[in-house]
Amino acid sequence: MKDEPFEKYWQEKFEHFETQPSEGLWDKMSHELLVRHAKMLFNHYLVKPEAYVWRKIAFILWIKNFFRFSFSTFNVYYLLTALLMVFSIYNIIYIQENKSSSNSISNVNERLTFTPNDVRSIQPWLKQQELSILKKDSDQFNTKPVKLNKKPDFIANSHSNEFTSLYQNDIESWAPLKTQTINNVGTIALEENQIAPYMQDFKLHYHAAWSFYVAPISPIVELNFKTLSDEKQKSNYQPLASQVFSNLAFSVYYEWQRFNFKFQTGLIYSSFKQNYRFNDAVFYNDTLHHQQIIDNSYYNYSYIQVLNLDSLLLTGDTVWFTFIDSTLVPMFDTLNTTEIQNIRKNKSSQQQYKLSVLEIPFIAGYSYSFGKLDLTLKAGTSLNYTLLTKGYMPSENNDYGVQPLKREHMQNFYINIIAGAEANYFITDKLSLSFMPLYRRNLTRLFKNDMSIRLQLQSWTFNIGLKYQFK
């Protein structure tokens, strides 16, 4: 919108306007308006809106700020974080209560048959404290605990009858295992289907891990410009599809897990490049010659007076007749003019810009385990630092051309939201293959407030790597 119609509109709507806003007000308005333009337009204006207008403006601004991330004001992200924390605490309490109740109900009367099915799930079980077995009351023996080592020796057949008499309702027989079947397991193994709840609880109780990923990036970029009327104006920007491995991210994560809840942080380096088409206008001059013939012809008038003799003889009066004669004098003027016109011809060209970013993520998730396969749903946020900028961005002053992308035009730090999932397949007890697709979107602005350009950067990263569980 040009200045004259805009100013005329405000003059008609707000007559007799007198105000001198403070510098603090202009600083707040600078987040949405161009200060230098607003000062010119609103100076010496006076307006007195009704009360409902202010209430409507306050409500709209509150809604807008509620969905915008800020450290100092309450917003939807704080609300979601609080709900997630309440839900997590509730689940932790619920799991602990179920665990304590199941431990109080369970006793040693359960039948345990040992089979070497899964080394990864059996070894942590055998590393627990010594196994205590309480003898039942019988006619021959008093009730007292008998302890077996976590790696019990082979039980000879001669003693099997004694155990059978003691636990005739519990354990029918103890069968020896070949020591070469499972390394460092001993002679007793448990059926995996019967001890799976205990093993699952042990595995998810607590652990820590390091993971390393490399990921191709699939960007979704939206670029527009902010106008004085708070409307988004589309730019001469048409993004092009990127090649699969032209944008990459390298990351290392530290993971801490308590029960089914995971927390991850780490360091990510990502290099992002975007190709696009823009209007690369071509200007040239046309010279127009105009010739104008102007008719400047005029008339020359002559006067002839004739005496009427008849009137003179008959009446004695002198009567004169005046005859007017005109002669056309033709005259033409030739006017030659030259006009030079500036002609713009639109032309489509390609250009690119590149960003290199260092990112620190903070991600929380909830994990589900299916034997050797773990699935995790996760969400969080990340703090990003702009390392390097290259290339050109569409011009913010014209609907054609480009301008250099400089690092001083961008925010040094900005915040992303993250959501995604993770799948881990255990190769060994501690090493697993990991696949983690993540969605990112910037919450805060990438460009500074005095720039009218707005860049909304969304991306999918498909992380593939290894995870090592060291605890």
Residues 92-149: tens digit of each pLDDT: 887 777 766 655 555 444 444 444 444 444 444 444 544 444 444 444 444 444 444 4
Domains of the chain: 3-48 (no CATH), 111-202 (no CATH), 204-281+348-469 (2.40.160.20), 284-345 (no CATH)
pTM, rounded to two decimals: 0.48
C-alpha distances in Å from residue 166, one per residue of 135, 136, 157, 417 = 7, 7, 15, 61
Q: Looking at per-residue confidence, does 470 or 231 come out higher? A: 470
At 313, is the secondary structure helix, strand, or coil? helix
Q: Looking at per-residue confidence, does 272 or 435 come out higher? A: 435
| pLDDT tens per residue, range 431-448 | 999 999 999 998 888 888
Spatial distance between the Cα atoms of 13 and 102, rounded to a whole number of angstroms: 74
With 0-12 CB in 10 A as exposed, 13-18 as middle and 19+ as buried, what is 367? middle
pLDDT score, position 466: 92
Q: How confident is the model at residue 359 (pLDDT cuts 50, 70, 90)?
A: very high
pLDDT score, position 452: 76
Q: Calculate Rg over the CA atoms of the chain.
A: 45
CA angle at 221 for the pair 225 and 387, rounded to the nearest 5°:
90
Q: Which of 274, 265, 277 is nearest to 459 (CA)?
A: 274
